[in-house]
């Protein structure tokens, strides 16, 4: 009955929920099956606007559970996978790498195995969503290209690099029709406030210290989450099998400049005196093994698939800040309880 049955893993997370929304609305003849373990980072409230769509289904399951994956593939006749489920936070991977190995490596191999055993013929896609962190850290110049050698340096990026290698190995060894995308730092609504931008917004709003790691000179290349979702949709529908595509914003900021920009924006939005929020900036002990600079060369996806970011960073940041100011309940709910323990562990003695 459905033209395709697309499994989106990690669909209740930050990027996944934006992608699920895009796919459900854009493809009414495809059934979108959102699968998520609902860890601390997964939240069904991210998906309330698609809950009742006829082409949407939700399954709570762990990708590490092979039997559960087999049943989902059989019950929903899964034709394609867009795989985002992962442990995604670098700082948490430094505190405890094993969860990252389990979900990001073992979970990915599980899914690959089930897809390989279930699919006959070529009319399938296994799209693996990965990160630019697999390429390591850049100096002052240069950009990550698809041909840049892998050089992961944190437990998180090592687990993602390993999963990328397994995805490619399943293509080369078994002919599984795969695609990989490697994206730079995302920002936008519904991002868990452990990541830089939502953490800083939340702390500015609540007049709490703004913890800058080291000197704040590390550089990230920021992309609006909806632009990442549209890049994934573009690669999934038009990209070549067996290929990798880098996705990024050509939008490099040092952490300190970005946090100062957020302070100025929020001073205006909160009717504070100019410079008031900046007083909250506190330099803290650096992240262990902190990668200096990430920056993406996205010319392949632009030339081949005609994809480009749609928004300027300043526009995207304002939309994001407005969303957090309007949705304080969403943030308050997830920052009570275990988030407080997390925050204390990470920041109290830093
Ligand atoms: P997130 O942490 O917000 O969401 C991850 C989701 O995966 C959550 O809903 C969680 O419940 C789910 N999940 C975790 N373990 C699972 C398991 N064992 N089984 C099933 N579901 C599980 O992450 P995000 O920022 O939305 O990132 C999504 C993907 O995109 C990840 O693979 C990440 O590596 C990649 N990525 C993220 C960024 C970024 O800037 N956030 C950039 C590039 C790539
Ligand atoms: O590059 C893509 C990656 O971007 C994704 O694969 C990851 O899933 C995602 O978490 C992100 O990783 P980063 O480590 O770059 O993101 P994070 O938001 O944790 O940190 C961004 C920068 O801000 C980094 O240089 C560390 C710094 N930072 C972060 C936090 C949370 C601070 O200075 N203070 C903080 O409190």
pLDDT tens column, 110-164: 999 999 999 998 899 999 999 999 999 999 999 999 999 999 999 999 999 999 9
Ligand 1 centroid distance, CA of 276 (Å):
34
List, for the chain, all residue ranges whose pLDDT scores fall below the cut of 50. none
Q: Is residue 246 part of a domain?
A: yes
Active site residues: 132-133, 156
92 CB near ligand 2 (under 6 Å): no
- Of 261, 276, 277, nearest to 316 by C-alpha is 261
**Residue 66 burial (CB < 10 Å; 0-12/13-18/19+)?**
middle
- The closest-lying atom of ligand 1 relative to the alpha carbon of residue 133 is 43
Q: How many structural domains is the chain composed of?
A: 1
252 CB near ligand 2 (under 6 Å): no
| pLDDT at site 287 | 98
| pLDDT at site 178 | 98
| pLDDT at site 134 | 98
Q: Is residue 325 part of a domain?
A: no
> What are the helix (H) ranges across 175-273?
196-205, 225-238, 255-269
Number of H helices, E strands in the chain: 13, 12
The range of the structural domain enclosing residue 70 comes to 4-190+221-252+289-313
195 CB near ligand 2 (under 6 Å): yes
Q: Is the dihedral of CA 333, 199, 202, 342 positive or negative?
A: positive
Q: Is residue 209 part of a domain?
A: no
| pLDDT at site 349 | 86
Residue nearest atom 4 in ligand 1 by C-alpha distance: 13
Q: Is residue 216 part of a domain?
A: no
CA 54 to chain centre: 26
| pLDDT at site 122 | 81
Name residue 58's beta-bridge partners.
34
Residue nearest atom 41 in ligand 1 by C-alpha distance: 186
Residue nearest atom 37 in ligand 1 by C-alpha distance: 131
Q: Is residue 226 part of a domain?
A: yes
| pLDDT at site 304 | 98
| pLDDT at site 350 | 86
255 CB near ligand 1 (under 6 Å): no
**Which pair of structure tokens corresponds to residue 147?**
């041909």
Q: Is residue 201 part of a domain?
A: no
| pLDDT at site 336 | 86
Q: What is the DSSP letter of 322?
A: H
Q: Is residue 296 part of a domain?
A: yes
Q: Is residue 274 part of a domain?
A: no
Which CATH number covers residue 179?
3.40.50.720
Ligand 1 centroid distance, CA of 87 (Å):
6
133 CB near ligand 2 (under 6 Å): yes
């Amino acid at each position: 009955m459905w033209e395709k049955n697309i499994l989106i893993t990690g669909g209740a997370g930050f990027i996944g929920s934006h992608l699920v929304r895009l796919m459900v609305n854009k493809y009414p003849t495809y059934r979108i099956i959102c699968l998520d373990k609902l860890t601390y980072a997964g939240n069904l409230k991210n998906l309330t606007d698609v809950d009742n769509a006829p082409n949407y289904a939700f399954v709570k399951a762990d990708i590490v559970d092979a039997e559960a994956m087999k049943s989902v593939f059989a019950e929903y006749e899964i034709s394609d996978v867009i795989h985002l489920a992962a442990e995604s936070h670098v700082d948490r991977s430094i505190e405890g790498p094993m969860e990252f190995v389990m979900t990001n490596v073992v979970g990915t191999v599980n899914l690959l195995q089930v897809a390989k055993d279930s699919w006959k013929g070529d009319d399938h896609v296994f799209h693996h969503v990965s990160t630019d962190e697999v390429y390591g850290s850049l100096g002052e110049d240069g950009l990550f290209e698809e041909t840049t050698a892998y050089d992961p340096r944190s437990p998180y990026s090592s687990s993602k690099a390993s999963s990328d290698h397994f995805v490619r190995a399943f293509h080369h060894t078994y002919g599984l029709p795969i695609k990989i995308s490697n994206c730079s730092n995302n920002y936008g609504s519904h991002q868990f406030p452990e990541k830089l931008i939502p953490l800083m917004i939340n702390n500015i709003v609540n007049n709490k210290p703004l913890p800058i790691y080291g000197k704040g000179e590390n550089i990230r290349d920021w992309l609006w989450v909806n632009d990442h979702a549209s890049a994934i949709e573009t690669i999934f529908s038009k990209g070549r099998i067996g290929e990798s595509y880098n996705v990024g914003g050509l939008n490099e900021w040092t952490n300190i400049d970005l946090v100062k920009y957020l302070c100025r924006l929020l001073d205006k939005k909160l009717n504070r005196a100019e410079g008031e929020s900046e007083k909250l900036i506190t330099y803290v002990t650096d992240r262990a093994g902190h990668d200096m600079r990430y920056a993406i060369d996205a010319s392949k996806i632009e030339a081949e698939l005609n994809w480009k970011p749609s928004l300027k960073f300043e526009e995207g940041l304002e939309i994001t800040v407005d969303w957090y100011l309007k949705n304080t309940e969403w943030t308050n709910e997830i920052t009570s309880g275990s988030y407080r323990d997390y925050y204390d562990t990470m920041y109290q003695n830093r």
